[in-house]
Amino acid sequence: MSDRFADAVASMPILGAMGIRLVDVGPGRAVADLPAEPNVNHFGVTYAGSLFSVAEMLGGVLSLATFDLDADGELAGFVPLVKESSIRFRRPALGVVRASTSLSDDEVARVRRDALATGKGEFVLEATITDAQGEVVATTLGTYQLRRF
């Protein structure tokens, strides 16, 4: 895992407090794990807000890994923002869970074109959160924008 992505996560103290760990990040994809502790709620299952967070933060990480946002990059000066997000809880989350999302090559190209042409590239990410048995515990849908900062 590139230090660059780990540094971005580490720069946000509350994600560190949740114990979120990047597992796989590359162009068009991002995967992260969330441990049970310290995210358990008073029923002994993982708290809704921590499940939301491990899925939501993938949007920022995927953006960094997919779009060239570096100072000398094609999209220099753009930042990823989340506009809205929804989560559906399917079953209680026990133990370590894994959140995964991806964006197709066609969508990546379209977002890049929109951003360069209009200063704003919007995209929707679906993320799935599964437990160690592969059961889906929650699904999310997030709307993000690359915006000129």
> Considering the complex, what minimum distance in angstroms separates the CB of residue 11 from a second copy?
5
Q: Is 40 in the site for a second copy (CB under 8 A)?
A: yes
Q: Is 89 in the site for a second copy (CB under 8 A)?
A: yes
82 contacts: CB under 8 Å, gap ≥ 6 = 56, 59, 60, 142, 143, 144
Q: Is 71 in the site for a second copy (CB under 8 A)?
A: no
Task: Yes or no: say if 87 and 126 are a contact pair by the CB < 8 Å rule.
Answer: no
Q: Is 57 in the site for a second copy (CB under 8 A)?
A: yes
Among 30, 65, 87, 137, binds a second copy (CB under 8 A): 87
32 contacts: CB under 8 Å, gap ≥ 6 = 20, 21, 22, 23, 54, 57, 58, 61, 98, 99
What is the binding site for a second copy (CB under 8 A)?
A: 8, 11-15, 17-18, 37-43, 47-50, 52-53, 56-57, 79, 81-89
